[in-house]
Chains A and B, each alone.
Chain A
Amino acid sequence: MLEVENLSVAYGKHEALRAVSLRVEAGRTVVILGANGAGKTTLLNAVAGIIPAQPGARITFDGATLQAAPPHRIVEHGIALVPEGRRLFGEMSVLDNLRLGAYARRARQAEAAGLERMLALFPRLAERRHQLARTMSGGEQQMLAIARALMSCPRLLLLDEPSLGLSPRLAKELFATLRRLAAEGQSILLVEQAVHLSLGLADWVYVLENGGIARSAAPGDIRGDDSLRKAYLGL
């Protein structure tokens, strides 16, 4: 479904990503693990089109070429990013945030249905639908960020460290929701530091280190590999 080949990203002289290649198959959940500064956020942002890739990269999504497309086109192709720090429209209500999620042409028809689905999936959001987004708790904001991304009817959902800043209980709840989505057939590319939780969700795992793919394996192999966990994941 998503194929990334030879993706490099540089911020000035600093190379944040070096020739990364990876694949996400339809209906699968792929997890990218890595320490802080390994390039995980850069990878997702580059796929979403927010930051430009170096020449030579190839990003295709079901055959469509994405590497030079502006971010709003990429959403129209069916890729939605839940960005680092959530980036909600804080001055707007929960409902307004969700409606904007369905701004993409591909999702407009389904706005009403999507809204209903999201409010069912995240009952907390239903309770707070008229509240301003920035006045909600961290967990609620994360739910809203995911719901907003889902409103665009993505075929592939990109998630950038959704558990960051959440209590263990909330993080667990969050992953339960993600599992439900995956079970419904949602393709997911998840970047995380919470290794245990994400391994439980993953169909396939990439380990990112210093801007490059250090390991690509099934979750079971990673779990069993103590040295790898210590070396790459700081556990």
Chain B
Amino acid sequence: MVLFEAILSGVLVGGMYGLIALGLNLQYGIARMMNLAYGETLMGGAFTAFWFLTLWRIDPLASLLFSVPVAFCGNWLIYRYLLTPLVRRAANRDVLEADTILVTFGLLFVFQGVALVQWGGEYRGYTYLAVPVHVLGATVALNRVLAFVAAVALALALYWLLRATRLGGALRAIAIDPVAAQLVAIDVPRLSALAFAAGGAIMAVAGTLVSMFLSFNASIGIVYTLKALIVVIMGGVGRMLGCLAAGLILGVAEALGAYLVDPGLTLAINFALFLLVLLVRPQGLFSRG
């Protein structure tokens, strides 16, 4: 029973890992921008939920109506006015990658600094839907179940979008070869901006949901950026279901390792799995080719 509950916990945590990685997968996998300030959007979503609840008693889920559009527009502006000029300037892909990493790294400090000044540095948290739910005899918290459900729903929705719609086909084409995509009349700058902005919007959702059960502060973003990056690389860049699956594998491996061996090992298991994937399948677990 304890074993089953450990696995179940791992599945829920894994869903959360997948959730925080989906947006990065859009930004890095489709729009091809390594955004180191990615986690700051999660931080923003978390703080929005927190302040809406604390100041005005607005339900954290309702705060999504505010934070998602704001994150979408904010990320769109970042792409359009900070990153697009780099595309024009860069001589090649490597230069572009280095430039974006530098710029978004700077952005990370700007966002973190503003949040620190604005909201202070202390940890924040609130209690919402921290009610036990019984699943086949095991007990889990409803807020974590909610994050898991959102992760699965979003991953499936993105998968469907990319596989079965004209827009999704265009996005995949951009991911594979942006020049060729232009040659089939795809407005690459516009759709890349859209993918980048949508990635930010998904991260705001993740921030809202994660803040329901994990405490956070102004400098928490980078932690989630790194986690998301590991999941994206493990699952395969641009692969939405791969992303979810990699998150689940990590979550369950951590939980099982903690239960069967030692809880102190979870981080080690995490990185061991990551290294193993890098060595054996550097293109990601769920990528062809």
Contacts and interface: CB of A to CB of B under 8 A. Distances in A.
Do A and B interact directly, with beta carbons closer than 8 Å? yes
A203 interface: no
Interface string A27-52: 00000000000000000000011100
B109 to A, nearest CB: 34
A162 interface: no
A72 B289 contact: no
A165 B186 CA distance: 28
A83 interface: yes
B127 interface: no
B205 interface: no
Given A70-B187, A89-B177, A103 B166 contact: yes
A72 B182 CA distance: 5
A191 interface: no
Given A103-B166, A103-B170, A134-B289, A89 B182 contact: no
Interface string A42-79: 00000011100000000000000000001110011000
A118 to B, nearest CB: 14
Contacts of B170: 100, 103
Interface of B: 166, 169-170, 172-173, 176-177, 179-189, 288-289
A48 B25 CA distance: 30
Interface string A138-171: 0000000000110110000000000000000000
Contacts of B176: 89-92
Interface residues of A, number: 32
B185 A105 contact: yes
26 contacts: A48-B183, A70-B182, A70-B187, A71-B183, A72-B186, A76-B185, A83-B179, A87-B177, A90-B176, A91-B289, A92-B169, A92-B173, A92-B176, A99-B169, A100-B181, A100-B184, A103-B166, A103-B173, A103-B185, A104-B184, A104-B185, A105-B185, A106-B185, A107-B185, A134-B289, A152-B184
Contacts of B186: 72, 100, 103
A99 B163 CA distance: 12
A80 B172 contact: no
B172 A89 contact: yes
A89 B185 contact: no
B172 A75 contact: no
B289 A80 contact: no
Contacts of A107: 185
* Cβ-closest 6 pairs across A and B: A104-B185, A75-B185, A71-B182, A87-B180, A72-B185, A89-B176
